[in-house]
Amino acid sequence: MTDYPTTPCASCKQPVIWTVTDKSKRMPVDAQPTSDGTVALTAAGSQVRSRVVEAKFRFGRKDLHKAHFSSCPQANTWRRR
């Protein structure tokens, strides 16, 4: 299911997918979708676009990813950038 390119996180080495948000910001998400994920991915050319899905539309979906900012054990390093 994950046919998006992954790269190891610079901090924790977990595989992440680098995406571009609808605000044109680069955001890494966990490579594996989870049932408590919040981010929908779509391929757009060479980019992967990410969009946060509203809570009411998330129910029952298993294709959503977690922002790696929230799951990375090194999250503090991220936030300081």
- Report if residue 72 touches Zn ion, rule: CB under 5 A: yes
Q: Is 48 among the residues that bind Zn ion (CB under 5 A)?
A: no
Q: How far is the CB of 43 from Zn ion (least distance, A)?
A: 23
Question: Which residue intervals of 1-81 are DSSP H helices?
Answer: 68-71, 75-80
Shortest Å distance, C-beta 42 to Zn ion: 23
Rounded CA-CA distance 54/38 in Å is 8
Query: Quick check: 32 binds Zn ion (CB under 5 A)?
Result: no
**Phi, psi for 26 (deg, rounded to 5):** -80, 130
Cα–Cα distance, 81 to 75 (Å, whole number): 10
The answer to whether residue 11 forms part of the interface with Zn ion (CB under 5 A) is yes
> What residues line the site for Zn ion (CB under 5 A)?
9, 11-12, 72
